[in-house]
């Protein structure tokens, strides 16, 4: 039974009405024949689940819902197309890896390739393209929220890494990790999963390829950072070991990839100072990687919303990186400053605006400044992209003031 037929004459509730909820409504109206479609944006305790055959939940709604009447766009898409899905997850690097893989496949195979998922494109928006072309492949970024409660795994799975994140949502690291594990939990013999060294042994039924995290990979990339060399290695393994593409051709396309906004993005040289936007960095390791990736770094702007994750690793790095000035902003910036015992190379600032004022006092021509918060944006900005765009805007406003 196709996913369109399963909704025939059924009453359906869409729980959550953001981008994905609206996409779900469009899918149901265009391709399905439910007896009723309703939208609900309330709290779990306000939900009347007895009145519906199916409840399609948006990923931002926390909680476990094992009842089979609860489903999601991600699960529906996998039910229909899992054999043609390459799913990518990980605490960090999934958007870059997903986009790099999409770039490579779009240029190397004759099949139609679609880019969907957490990258910002609801997967059911491409239902028609996938259903009408039996050779089409979906490259799908999968967040922990999208993976939570799914009972189907993609044919090819990529699990880059696993670190503390989203503890405000899952409360414990174990629950967060279990959500991520669903990318391979329901694989079947013949499936393949490509896994980083920080991910625990999975004991899945799919064939597992382990990719060493700290192995030196030497691609001539257009994007900075050893972590992106590692992302490129995943893409190569999927293409060569998974899809049996030519290795030289794969590497050629990997090296053409130009990266994504807000991921160690070079903004430009303003008044002699290089500025980088790494607003996507919301965990300590990402910020450490950013600082290590910029050879002329002088100042790193850190801090954001406090979700309760540990900063011991970043604090250790701050104390060792004595040539870098860390401007500590917002709630986590203040927390890091205090937990680090106010080291000489840390300065407290209120926000990005004040940080950029301090930059003009300490950065000289030839130095580099990076926004790499090691924290979420929520409470101060709508998302990491808005934070990055604000950073760029303020830099341009400050042009000529140095």
**Listed residue (282, 279, 288) closest to 305, CA to CA:** 282
Domain that holds residue 156: 74-254
- The mean pLDDT of the chain is 94
Higher pLDDT, 171 or 133: 133
Q: Does one domain contain both 179 and 62? A: no
* Same domain? 349 vs 384: yes
Whether residue 121 sits in one domain with residue 87: yes
260 inside domain: no
Q: What is the pLDDT of residue 215?
A: 65
User: Which of 25, 40, 71 is the C-terminal boundary of a domain?
Assistant: 71
Residue 129 within any structural domain of the chain: yes
- Give domain status of residue 3, yes or no: no
For every residue of 212-240, DSSP letters joined together read -TTS------SS--HHHHHHHHHHHHIII
What pLDDT, on the 0 to 100 scale, is given for residue 198?
86
What pLDDT score does 218 carry? Answer: 86
Whole-prediction pTM value?
A: 0.86
Q: What is the CATH number of the domain that holds 147?
A: 3.40.1190.10
Within a domain: 149: yes
The answer on pLDDT for 57 being more than 80 is: yes
Question: HEC profile for 94-141?
Answer: HHHHHHHHHHHHHHHCCCCEEEEECCCECHHHHHHHHHHCCCCEEEEE
| Tens digit of each residue's pLDDT (9 = 90 or more) over 275-292 | 999 999 998 989 999 999
Q: Do 124 and 146 fall within a single domain?
A: yes
Nearest CA-CA partner of 92 in 141, 51, 139: 141
Nearest residue to 149 via CA among 64, 57, 85: 64
Give percent of the chain above pLDDT 70: 99
Encode pLDDT of 199-254 as tens digits: 988 777 889 999 987 667 789 999 999 899 999 999 999 999 999 999 999 999 99
Residue that finishes a domain, picked among 199, 228, 254: 254
147 and 97 inside one domain: yes
**Both 226 and 143 in a single domain?**
yes
Confidence class for position 170, pLDDT limits 50, 70, 90 = confident
306 and 372: one domain?
A: yes
- On whether both 57 and 128 belong to a single domain, the answer is no
Give the Cα separation of 240 and 231 in Å (integer).
Answer: 14
Q: Dig out the tokens for 292 from the structure.
A: 């290590």
Task: Write the pLDDT tens digit of every residue in 353-401.
Answer: 999 999 999 999 999 999 999 999 999 999 999 999 999 999 988 776 7
Domain count of the chain? 3
Mean per-residue pLDDT, 27-44: 96
Residues contacting residue 312 through CB under 8 Å, at least 6 positions apart: none
pLDDT of residue 402: 61
The C-alpha atoms of residue 244 and residue 304 are separated, in whole angstroms, by 43
Whether residue 259 is contained in a domain is answered as no
Give me the CATH number covering residue 310: 3.90.190.20
Decide: 202 and 157 in contact? Cβ < 8 Å. no
Identify whether residues 181 and 292 lie together within a single domain.
no
Could you tell me if 204 and 307 lie in one domain? Answer: no
Kindly calculate the radius of gyration of the chain based on its CA atoms and give it in whole angstroms. Answer: 22
Q: Domain end: 212, 227, 254, which one? A: 254
Are 226 and 276 contained in the same domain?
Answer: no
Statement to judge: residues 226 and 123 lie in one domain: yes
Range with the poorest average pLDDT among 69-83, 201-215, 322-336, 379-393: 201-215
The answer to whether residue 297 is domain-embedded is yes
Average pLDDT over residues 262-282: 95
């Amino acid at each position: 039974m196709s996913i369109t037929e399963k909704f025939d004459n059924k009453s359906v509730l869409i729980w959550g009405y953001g981008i994905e909820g609206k996409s779900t409504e469009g899918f149901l109206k265009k391709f399905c024949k439910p007896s009723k479609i309703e939208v609900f944006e309330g709290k779990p305790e306000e939900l009347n689940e007895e009145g519906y055959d199916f409840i399609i939940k948006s990923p931002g709604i926390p909680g476990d819902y094992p009842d089979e009447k609860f489903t999601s766009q991600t699960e529906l898409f996998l039910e229909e197309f899992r054999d043609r899905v390459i799913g990518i997850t990980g605490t960090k690097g999934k958007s870059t890896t997903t986009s790099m893989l999409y770039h490579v496949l779009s240029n190397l195979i004759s099949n139609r390739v679609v880019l969907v998922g957490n990258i910002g494109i609801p997967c059911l928006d491409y239902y028609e393209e996938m259903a009408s072309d039996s050779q089409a492949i979906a490259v799908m970024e999968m967040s922990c929220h999208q993976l939570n409660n799914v009972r189907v795994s993609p044919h090819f799975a990529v699990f880059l890494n696993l670190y503390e994140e989203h503890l405000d949502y899952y409360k414990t690291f174990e629950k967060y990790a279990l959500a991520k594990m669903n990318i391979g939990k329901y694989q079947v013999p013949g499936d393949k999963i490509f896994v980083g060294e920080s991910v625990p042994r999975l004991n899945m039924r799919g064939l597992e390829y382990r990719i060493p995290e700290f192995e030196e990979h030497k691609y001539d990339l257009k994007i900075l950072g050893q972590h992106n060399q590692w992302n490129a290695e995943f893409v190569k393994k999927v293409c060569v070991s998974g899809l049996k593409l030519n290795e030289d051709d794969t590497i050629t396309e990997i090296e053409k990839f130009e990266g994504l906004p807000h991921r160690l993005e070079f903004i430009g040289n303003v008044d002699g100072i290089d500025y980088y936007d790494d607003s996507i960095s919301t965990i300590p390791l990402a910020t450490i990687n950013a600082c290590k990736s910029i050879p002329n770094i002088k100042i790193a702007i850190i801090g954001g919303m406090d979700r309760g994750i540990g900063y011991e690793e970043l604090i250790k790095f701050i104390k060792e990186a004595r040539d870098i000035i860390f401007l500590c902003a917002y709630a986590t910036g203040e927390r890091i400053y205090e937990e680090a015992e106010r080291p000489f190379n840390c300065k407290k600032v209120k926000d990005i605006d004040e940080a950029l004022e301090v930059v003009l006092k300490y950065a000289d021509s030839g130095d580099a400044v990076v926004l790499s918060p090691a924290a979420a944006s929520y409470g101060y900005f709508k998302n990491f992209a808005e934070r990055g765009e604000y950073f760029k805007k303020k830099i341009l406003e400050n042009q000529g003031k140095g």
